[in-house]
Structure 1
Amino acid sequence: MSMARRAVEQELSRDRIMDAARHLFITKGYRGISMRSIGQHLGYSHGSLYYHFKEKAELFYAIVVQDFNHLAQLCEQVTRRPPSEGMTKAEQLMLEFIKFGLDHPHQYEIMFMLRDEEILTYCRAEQSKCFDMFDTIIRQFLKEEKHPLENNPSLPLSMFLGIHGFISFYIQDRLTFEEIMPAAVAHVKMLSQSNYRLLTS
Structure 2
Amino acid sequence: MGIKERKSRHKEDLRKRILEAAKKLFVSAGYEATSIRKIAQEIEFSPTTIYLYYKDKSDIIYALHQEGFLMLRQDFQPLMQVESPFERLKAIGKCYLRFALTHPDFYEVMFMMKDPMKYLEVNCVDGEWEEGERVFDFLLHTIRDCQDAGYFSKMDTVQVAVQAWSSVHGLCSLHVSGHLKSMMEVVLKEDDQERMIEQAFRVFVHYLELTK
Q: TM class by shorter-chain length?
A: 0.7 to 0.9
Higher RCO structure (Cα 8 Å, ≥6 apart):
1
**Do the aligned residues in 2 keep the contact of 1:20 with 1:42 (CA within 8 Å)?**
yes
Cα distance, 1:32 vs structure 2: 1.1
Cα distance, 1:81 vs structure 2: 5.2
Cα distance, 1:188 vs structure 2: 2.6
Asked whether 1:131 is paired with 2:132, we answer no
Normalised by the size of structure 1, how large is the TM-score? 0.77
Q: Name the counterpart of 2:196.
A: 183
Unaligned runs of 5+ in 2: 1-6, 121-126, 182-191
SS in 2 for 1:33: coil
Unaligned runs of 5+ in 1: 1-5
Asked whether 1:155 is paired with 2:152, we answer no
Q: Name the counterpart of 2:99.
A: 100
Q: Name the counterpart of 2:113.
A: 114
Measure the CA separation in 2 of the matches of 1:11 and 1:76.
25
Normalised by the size of structure 2, how large is the TM-score? 0.74
**Do the aligned residues in 1 keep the contact of 2:40 with 2:50 (CA within 8 Å)?**
yes
Q: Residue type of the partner of 1:29?
A: G
Q: CA RMSD in A?
A: 2.9
Sequence identity of aligned pairs in percent? 23
Measure the CA separation in 2 of the matches of 1:8 and 1:47.
20
Measure the CA separation in 1 of the matches of 2:202 and 2:137.
22
Q: Residue type of the partner of 2:89?
A: A
Aligned pairs, number: 185
* Matching of residues 1-40 of structure 1 within 5 Å: 9-10=10-11, 13-40=14-41
**Do the aligned residues in 2 keep the contact of 1:139 with 1:156 (CA within 8 Å)?**
no
Deviations 1:43-65 (A, max 9, x none): 11111112221222211111111
1:32–1:24 distance in 2 versus 1, CA, 3 Å: same
Cα distance, 1:143 vs structure 2: 4.6
Q: Residue type of the partner of 2:198?
A: V
